[in-house]
Amino acid sequence: MLLKIVQVIPALNAGGAERTVVDITRAVVEAGGEALTLTSGGILEEELHAAGGQIAHLPAASKNPFTMWRNVDRIACLAHDFGAQLIHARSRAPAWSVRAACSKLGIPFVTTYHGTYRAQNPLKRRYNAIMAKGDAVIANSHFIARHIIDEHGTDEARITVIPRGCDPGFFEVPEKTVDADLPLIVLPARFTRLKGHVLAMEAVAILNAKGVRVKLVLAGDTRGRDAYVLQLQDQITNAGLDDVISFAGHVSDMAGLYASANIVLCASIQPESFGRVSVEGQASARLCIAPAHGGSRETIMDGKTGFHFVPNEANDLANVLHKALTLSPTQADKITSNAREHARSLFSREAMCAKTLGVYNDLAPVLK
């Protein structure tokens, strides 16, 4: 049957969940269906429109209980007028509104559990639990699937593991890195402390002190994070590393960024639910390094398709970076070739979209 799907996400700025909204929109439209996204908006709106999707704006990012309550009728009306067969929520606050809207309309409620979510107290745990209440619950890694079961007691039969898919363009990045005066490490990530910018900077400082000179580029949207970015800049200056650590801002051409890199780094200090950067880096046939926790343990095969380091350990990260930089060309080529095939076989965008549409179609009997 032709699908008419509504997705709800707080905003459409850069990020793995946001990128997946665009990918699923494109897949639904290419399959002959229609896709509507309810969101407060963002920089990916133009791309979503180009994929054939529709957008309706509402304050989906708000955690204000009154706004969340008002969003129930807004979502229900928009979904009803669109003729939605199901609604897919991708964040906690709007998920509460979506679940109530789905109940009013009598249509399935789908969630994607994107992260581990902090649960400091029973109230926060209950707030988080909405993401495990879908008629179908999508986990983007086996690590997250296990977390859902352990944290919420969700029936395993309602959980489908669907890793995020990699854009085909990353597989077209040239296999040889661009020559530069110094080896280039790129760390693409949102500017939040959890992404480990400080840890990466400390590792570069350790290498620098040992006479191993590298460049580090911190790539990501800095909007709304001015205070944190200023703190990072002060640390860079105080460490005397202004000439080797720089900020790239929001990068729309991620494939181009990877093409310039010797190493693609994930330095997150808390377990990643998946690890999109590591998958994109492997698809681009770059040496990838990530901490040995969370989804990164699934996306990178240590020593075969990339390298792991001890989480939150700057010295170990520095040692692993040095190890990667001193590989022979033959050793590096073997790892990057393995990495590209690993990404192609397990983490393609086509596979992600096909599995997600499969979840949607499995709910179709409920709609008849």
Domain match, 340 and 357 both: no
Find residue 8's DSSP bridge partners.
Answer: 38, 89
3-state secondary structure of 12: coil
Chain position carrying tokens 């020559």 = 179
Q: Tell me, what's the pLDDT at 368?
A: 46
Domain match, 287 and 201 both: yes
Model confidence pLDDT, tens digit, residues 211-240: 999 999 999 888 778 899 999 999 999 999
Model confidence pLDDT, tens digit, residues 249-291: 888 888 889 999 999 999 999 998 888 899 999 999 999 999 9
Model confidence pLDDT, tens digit, residues 52-65: 999 999 999 999 99
Model confidence pLDDT, tens digit, residues 82-100: 999 999 999 999 999 999 9
Q: Round the average pLDDT of the chain to a whole number and report it.
A: 92
Answer whether 24's CB lies under 8 Å from 3's CB.
Answer: no
Domain match, 246 and 97 both: no
Model confidence, pTM: 0.81
pLDDT of 339 strictly over 90: yes
Domain match, 123 and 30 both: yes
Containing domain of residue 300, as a range?
168-346
Domain match, 107 and 21 both: yes
Domain match, 213 and 302 both: yes
Answer whether 359's CB lies under 8 Å from 160's CB.
Answer: yes
Domain match, 105 and 187 both: no
Model confidence pLDDT, tens digit, residues 91-138: 999 999 999 999 999 999 999 998 888 777 888 889 999 999 999 999
Domain match, 264 and 358 both: no
Domain match, 178 and 284 both: yes
Percent of the chain surpassing pLDDT 90: 79
CATH of the domain at 94: 3.40.50.2000
Domain match, 247 and 143 both: no
Domain match, 187 and 138 both: no
Q: What residues contact residue 362 under an 8 Å CB cut-off, 6+ apart? A: 136
Domain match, 316 and 264 both: yes
Total number of domains constituting the chain? 2
Instruction: Give CA–CA dist 65/123, Å, rounded.
Output: 14
